[in-house]
Amino acid sequence: MELVEAGYQPVIVDNLSRSDRTLLKGLKKILKQKVVFYKGDCANQAFLKKVFETERNIEGAMHFAAFKSVNESVQNPTLYYSNNLNSLTSLVNVMREFGVKDLIFSSSCTVYGQPDHSPVSEDAPMKRAESPYGATKQMSERILEDVYPSGMRIVSLRYFNPIGAHPSALIGELPVGVPGNLVPFITQTAIGKRNTLTVFGNDYSTPDGSCVRDFIHVVDVARAHIKSLEFLSKQGATPLYKVFNLGTGIGASVLELVNKFQQVTGVKLNYTIGPRRPGDVEKTYADPSKAFKELQWKPKYSIEDGLLHAWQWEEKLAKE
C-alpha cells in the first residue's frame, strides 16, 4: 500500500512457503486494484530472471525473502543458511544482469549479537550472532558490502521487532504452523488457537527479568522502505551502501508487552514462565537517530497501536 501511494507499481514474488495466497485478496481490497504476483522461489535464479524479463521496467528491489524465526534457525540452521543467503545472491545476480541498481535489504538488529549497551547505534560492533538467523543477516550484509562497488545503491534496514497489522485489518501476519514471533503467539493464545503463551526466561538482568526489545509497527517499517527509495533517488549514480536502524528507541520487556496487550484489548492472556530460549538476546533497543535524520522518517504508531491492530487482524481471521 505504501508503495502504491508513493506512485510505485509493486511486483510481488513469493513461494508461499511461509504465507498464504489469501493475503493477496486483502491487498486488492486495500489498493482497489489487482496485485502483480509471481509464485516462485527467490533462490531460483532462472525463475527470477523470467520475472525481470517480463517486467521490463523494474526500478529497484526489496528483499524480504529470508526466514526469520530465531528458534527455528537454532533447530534447523542449514535451512536458514540455504534460503536466506541463496535468495539474496540470486536476486543480486539477476539485478546486475538487468542493470537494476537500487536494493532495499531487510536486515535485523540480530546483527549486533548481544550488544554492550542499549540503545544500540549503527556504529556498534557486530559481535558473534546469537543464532543462525542472526548469522545469515551478518553474512548478507557482508555480501552487500562486497557487491555494491560494482555499481549498486543499497540500503540495509536493521529491523528491531516489527509488530501489528494494517489498520484496516485486511492484511497482517499469517504464520504457517506455530508462530515464530511473539505477537502472533499472543494473539493466537488470546483467540483460543493456542492454550498458553510461554515467556522464555524471567531471570535476565532487566527490570522484570524478561527480555527487552524495541517493538515497532509494521506500517512504520513499510514507510521507512519508501523513505529509503526516496533517499537513494537523491544520491546520484555513485555506488552506495548505507545501514539504518528501524526502531522506536524505546525498550519494552516481554512481560510489559503481555500486560499492554491485556490493557488495550481487555482480553486476559493465559501465560506461563519457561526457561530461557537458545538464541535469545537479553536486551536490545535502537538508537534510530540516523534514520530520523538521513531518511527523514519517524515512527507514528505506538506499541499499543501495534497490539490493537494485530488483535483486530486475529479477530478477522477467526470470523473467516
Q: Which residues are catalytic?
A: 133
132 three-class SS: helix
What is the sign of the dihedral through the CA atoms of 311, 179, 302 and 278?
A: positive
55: Cβ contacts below 8 Å, ≥ 6 apart: 11, 36
| 3, 84, 110, 130, 295 from 286: Cα distances, Å | 25, 23, 11, 17, 16
Bridge partner list, 283: 212
- The single-letter code of the amino acid at 308 is L
9 three-class SS: coil
- Examine residue 77 and say whether the peptide bond preceding it is cis (omega within 30 degrees of 0): no
87: Cβ contacts below 8 Å, ≥ 6 apart: 41, 42, 43, 63, 65, 66
**Helix boundaries (H) for 163-271:** 182-191, 218-233, 254-265
Cα–Cα distance, 160 to 141 (Å, whole number): 16
Cα–Cα distance, 44 to 217 (Å, whole number): 31
Residue recorded with cell 531471570: 203
Cα–Cα distance, 176 to 167 (Å, whole number): 22
